[in-house]
């Protein structure tokens, strides 16, 4: 770097010290997280869901159905040794070992493979579409992983943008970004599933909602609508949940917060209602599975058994037992803390900024709603991931407020000392 370049860099840092610190800190967090994930890249066997998205991605790239099925099975079986329980099960069925046992067991494709089950995944074209180019360049497994990681990191940057928009200090905003990545939000986002693009769409919708409540009508509406469209293509059930939640949040603000009774909040309520209605209409016209079909998938072991006659009744019974099952598992005990954290942090945020408190709380609540709609213990930790947003988006704002109170107290004490000693 020559002398002129160094001078320009020094001048840039001098003019925008906070922006440089923010960008530098964000990049360091991204690099650290990416390095850790790359080192553990092979530790997790791709799930059956990943297999379904892999098949779609290869079909988008022009593969025949048999070739797409075969290559997706190969991808799954390459890491079968990371799942000893499944590996032993397949070996017992085939009298082969490891990779060969997996390939033989799934020679006709993985199961479940009923049309009703596959329809659940073909109604989520966003992730396979986004993965197509990376898969073409880097291969199937790497391409799916890179796509998921990209949206995971985008989600972390949206957390950073939200915290800065809420006047959070640079240091605590970076802490929020890091929290997002180390909490289950980041972990599940790095898996080869729809969780990271869906979470990024959720955070973008929240950012658009926040801008609307700040009076930024055009930019807020544009970001909100773009997020809704992206979320619909990735996983429309989650998109419907977040638009409904933000719509309810807007009504709460209009009813309880006088400062929020303005055009921006009304526009948010109208956009959320329109997005919810449009999502239901479009998914119905496209023939995509609805909530009832999702319940049948849950209670028939992926359509292996006959449909249940009263899925809503089955849902209520299952919801009555699943939370008790959490208490019996040490691994899920942190999930029991989340409802308390949601309430406590929301109350504390309300005292600082009721608008921010409501929008973040209703967004986090979609995690609990997902578990209530799919009360399956093995999936609960993944489904409840949005609830952890109350930590990543709430704590940094509270810590900024606390630091501001301390700084103000110090300044007032200094002023008193100055006045006392002024005549000496």
Residue pLDDT, tens place only, 155-169: 999 999 999 999 999
206-212-217 Cα angle (round to 5): 135
Q: Which of 10-14, 134-138, 343-347, 359-363 has the lowest mean pLDDT?
A: 10-14
Residue pLDDT, tens place only, 251-282: 999 999 999 999 999 999 999 999 999 999 99
- Contacts for 407 with CB less than 8 Å, ≥ 6 apart: none
Contact 58, 68 (CB under 8 A): yes
Residue pLDDT, tens place only, 27-76: 999 999 999 999 988 877 788 999 999 999 999 999 999 999 999 999 99
Predicted structure pTM score = 0.89
112 upstream amide cis, omega within 30 of 0: yes
Given the structure tokens 């291969």, which residue do they identify? 139
Where are the domains positioned within the chain? 48-111, 157-407
Q: What is the dihedral of CA 275, 281, 283, 284, to 10 degrees?
A: 160
Handedness of CA 239, 245, 247, 250 (dihedral sign): negative
- Contacts for 349 with CB less than 8 Å, ≥ 6 apart: 356, 357, 360, 361, 394, 397, 398
**Residue among 173, 198, 48 nearest 114 (CA):** 48
pLDDT band of 332, cuts 50, 70, 90: low
Contact 273, 165 (CB under 8 A): no
């Amino acid at each position: 770097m020559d002398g002129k370049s160094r001078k320009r860099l020094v001048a840039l840092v001098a003019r925008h010290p906070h922006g440089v610190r923010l960008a530098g800190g964000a990049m360091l967090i991204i690099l650290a997280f990416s390095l850790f994930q790359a080192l553990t890249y092979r530790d997790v066997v791709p799930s059956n869901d990943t297999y379904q998205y892999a098949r779609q991605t290869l079909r988008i790239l022009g593969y025949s159905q048999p070739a797409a099925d075969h290559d997706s099975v190969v991808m799954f079986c390459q890491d079968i040794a990371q799942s000893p329980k499944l590996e032993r099960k397949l070996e017992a069925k085939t009298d082969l070992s490891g990779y060969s046992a997996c390939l033989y067991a799934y020679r006709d494709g993985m199961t479940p493979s009923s049309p009703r089950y596959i329809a659940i995944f073909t109604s989520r074209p966003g992730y396979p579409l986004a993965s197509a180019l990376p898969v073409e360049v880097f291969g199937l497994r790497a391409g799916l992983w890179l796509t998921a990681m990209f949206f995971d990191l985008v989600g972390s940057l949206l957390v950073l943008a939200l915290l800065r928009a809420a006047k959070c200090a640079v240091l605590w905003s970076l802490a929020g970004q890091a929290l997002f990545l180390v909490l289950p939000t980041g972990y599940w986002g790095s898996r080869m599933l729809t969780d990271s693009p869906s979470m990024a769409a959720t955070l973008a919708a929240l950012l658009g909602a926040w801008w609307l409540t700040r009076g930024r009508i055009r930019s807020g509406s544009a970001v909100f609508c773009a997020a809704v469209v992206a979320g619909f293509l990735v996983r429309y059930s989650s998109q419907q949940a977040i638009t409904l939640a933000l719509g309810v949040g807007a009504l709460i603000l209009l009813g309880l917060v006088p400062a929020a009774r303005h055009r921006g909040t009304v526009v948010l309520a109208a956009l959320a209602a329109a997005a919810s209605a449009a999502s239901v209409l479009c998914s119905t016209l496209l023939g995509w599975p609805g909530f009832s079909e999702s319940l049948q998938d849950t209670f028939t072991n992926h359509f292996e058994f006959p449909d249940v006659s009263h899925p809503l009744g089955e849902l209520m019974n299952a919801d009555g037992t699943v939370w008790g099952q959490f208490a019996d598992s040490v691994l899920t005990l942190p999930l029991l803390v989340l409802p308390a954290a949601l309430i406590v942090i929301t109350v504390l945020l309300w005292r600082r900024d009721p608008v921010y408190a409501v929008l973040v709380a209703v967004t986090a609540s979609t995690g609990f709603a997902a578990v209530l709609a799919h009360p399956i213990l093995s999936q609960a930790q993944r489904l409840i991931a949005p609830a952890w947003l109350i930590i990543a988006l709430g704590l940094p704002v509270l810590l900024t407020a606390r630091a501001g109170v301390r700084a103000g107290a110090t300044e007032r004490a200094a002023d008193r000392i100055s006045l006392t000693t002024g005549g000496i």
